[in-house]
Amino acid sequence: MKFCSKCGSSNIEFKVPPDDNLRRYCCNDCNSIFYSNPNIVVGSLCTFEDKILLCKRNIQPRLGMWTLPAGFFENSETLKDGAIRETFEETGADIKNLQPYSLFSLTHISQVHFFYLADLVEPNYGPTAESSEVELFTEEDIPWDEIAFPTVYKTLKYFLEDRKKGNFPFREEAIKL
């Protein structure tokens, strides 16, 4: 940070403010403190019959790899609305019956990944600007060696284990590197 977004000053210092315990950007002219908080990624594990909807990334990071439809949570939306929006943006699919399923804290990159279980309204989906391919996969056909992110891999594995038991508990874990 080079300039204060409140007063425009370049008198910015990265320091521990009074009554705090973490270093933050602080403006020494107007005394503003700038907090940097984790980014939230929200998405869905969508099913139709016994198949799982995956999309091949058409953007970085992990261009050309498969993922669950997900992306950054936006201001002024609920998590559920974010999952619905991201699923539509990446697959063109409409979803329903969303249930919270997995939450991962990725402290090493200051992100939180949250996935819902969801049903496809109908099997209408296709490529978008963000996904070069969109497909429904059976368990046997999931391209495990081409999964883009560890949180997607773990969510898929948990789902397949849980589906065998007929029980889908909410899961939360931290991933630290």
DSSP secondary structure string, 23-46? -EEEETTT--EE----EEEEEEEE
User: Cβ neighbours of residue 116 under 8 Å, at least 6 residues apart?
Assistant: 42, 43, 44, 45, 79, 80, 83, 98, 99, 100, 101
pLDDT band at 87 (very low <50, low <70, confident <90, very high): very high
- Are 30 and 62 in the same domain? no
Give the Cα separation of 51 and 46 in Å (integer).
Answer: 8
| Cα–Cα–Cα angle for 133, 136, 142, rounded to 5 degrees | 90
Q: What are the CA-CA distances from residue 127 to residues 14, 25, 130, 146, 151 (Å)?
A: 43, 41, 8, 18, 22
Asked if 41 and 51 count as a contact pair (C-beta separation under 8 A), the reply is no
Q: Looking at the structure, tell me whether residues 2 and 79 fall in a common domain.
A: no
pLDDT, tens digit, 9 for 90 and up, residues 33-66 = 999 999 999 999 999 999 999 999 999 999 999 9
Number of folded domains that form the chain? 2
Task: List the structure tokens of 75.
Answer: 């201001």
Q: Does residue 29 sit in the same domain as residue 97? A: no
pLDDT tier for residue 98 given thresholds of 50, 70 and 90: very high
Same domain as 103, residue 48: yes
What CATH number does residue 157 fall under?
Answer: 3.90.79.10
pLDDT computed for residue 176 by the predictor: 86
Handedness of CA 114, 73, 176, 142 (dihedral sign): positive
Same domain, 27 and 50: no
Its domain, for residue 19, covers 1-36
CA neighbor of 86 nearest in space, from 105, 99, 68: 68
Average pLDDT over residues 7-36: 97
pLDDT for residue 27: 98
Do 20 and 59 lie in one domain? The reply is: no
Q: Give the model confidence (pLDDT) of 139-160 as tens digits.
A: 999 999 999 999 999 999 999 9
The verdict on 16 and 54 lying in the same domain is no
Please give the pLDDT value at position 177. 80
Domain check: are 119 and 105 in the same one?
yes
Q: CATH code at 32?
A: 2.20.70.10
Mean pLDDT (whole number) for 107-131? 97
